[in-house]
Amino acid sequence: MNSQTFLQKIFSFFLTKIIIGIIIVVGSVALAEWAGRLFLDRTQSSDELKNAIIGISDAAIALLSYVLLFRFYEKRKIKELSAASLPKNACLGFSLGLFLQSSFILVIYLFGSYSISHVNPLSFLLPSFITALTAGFVAEILIRGIIFRLTEESLGTLIALIISILLFVVFHATVKGATFLSVFSTAIQAGFLFSATYIFSRSLWLPIFLHFAWDFAEPGIFGGINPGINLKQSLFNSNFNGSDLITGGKFGPGNSIEALLICLIAGFIFLWLARRKNNFIKPYWKK
């Protein structure tokens, strides 16, 4: 009996849940991608079609594995991925992502550091769209759905936010050529703002579609650099010149001073709104 109770405590511990969740979701996506490529490589499909099928499949598998795992593990409905909340939060998240990236580019343009040399066909958007879709779903299910959500449920909203920011600082500080601005811009965006949107909405759809639009617009539409995405084509062939402080330099517009400040303000607005909705969670020792 004591042994069973001990095991139950281990499996209910938030770090155990995080480890199991990451293994299941990452493993499912990796297995699906391996099987999909094995099958598609035997067909006469173009590389673009193969990548589109694999990308959409990865997003769907990440979503499905998360829902099935935590429905079984936590014996509950997965309200953070409710179908009823999808339209509103998807529209808000995607619009916010486009707005933020557009505001960064506008600032760079006003400083005379952005110009468009050529406009390509709309078909050039497809690779970016698929890549961003996959990144938005897989990354946010792992980061917000598993790591942040489970940490917050145990340690509370404020501590989870601090941990989230620090994790991005630690991981990005080791990137070759990283600067103070690039590290803290990423930490504020991915660790603070994206988490704040989840706290506000209590829906993963909002950060998922925010992440999706962010990764789609920066390289796919505006032709900017996104360190996590390697694309050969975009809607605009663009030129960035001037101070790295304004353009983000080799790390792209999302790692500029204006991106840091705008995302910091946006994050605090979402936290303020979340506070008004009483969406903050207390740590377990205060419950």
Contact partners, residue 244, CB within 8 Å, separation at least 6? 179, 181, 250, 256
Least confident range from 55-59, 172-176, 203-207: namely 172-176
pLDDT at 259: 95
48-58 per-position pLDDT tens digit: 888 899 999 99
Where do we find the tokens 């067909």? 43
Q: 236 - beta bridge partners?
A: 119
Q: Is the pLDDT of residue 3 over 70?
A: no
- Cα–Cα distance between 249 and 83 in angstroms, integer? 40
DSSP characters over the chain:
-HHHHHHHHHHHSHHHHHHHHHHHHHHHHHHHHHHHHHHHTTS---HHHHHHHHHHHHHHHHHHHHHHHHHHHS-S--GGG-STTHHHHHHHHHHHHHHHHHHHHHHHHHTT-EEEEEE--GGGGHHHHHHHHHHHHHHHIIIIIIIIHHHHHHH-HHHHHHHHHHHHHHHHHTSTT--HHHHHHHIIIIIIIHHHHHHHH--THHHHHHHHHHHHIIIIIT---BTTB--S--SEEEEE-S-HHHH-GGG-GGGSHHHHHHHHHHHHHHHHHHHHTT-----GGG-
Best CA proximity match to 195, nearest among 240, 148, 238: 148
pLDDT at 7: 82
Q: How confident is the model at residue 9 (pLDDT cuts 50, 70, 90)?
A: confident
Mean pLDDT to the nearest integer, 72-85: 94
How many percent of the chain have pLDDT more than 90? 77
pLDDT at 5: 82
Q: Is the pLDDT of residue 1 over 50?
A: no
3-state secondary structure 3-32: HHHHHHHHHHCHHHHHHHHHHHHHHHHHHH
Mean pLDDT to the nearest integer, 15-29: 96
25-43 per-position pLDDT tens digit: 999 999 999 998 888 888 8
Q: Is the pLDDT of residue 202 over 70?
A: yes
Centroid of chain to Cα 107:
23
Q: Please count the residues of the chain.
A: 287
pLDDT at 4: 59
245-278 per-position pLDDT tens digit: 999 988 999 999 999 999 999 999 999 999 999 9
Mean pLDDT to the nearest integer, 172-187: 89
pLDDT at 2: 55
Average pLDDT, the chain: 92
Task: Work out the angle at residue 169's Cα, subtended by the Cα atoms of residues 222 and 107, and round it to the nearest 5 degrees.
Answer: 30
Q: Is the pLDDT of residue 118 over 80?
A: yes
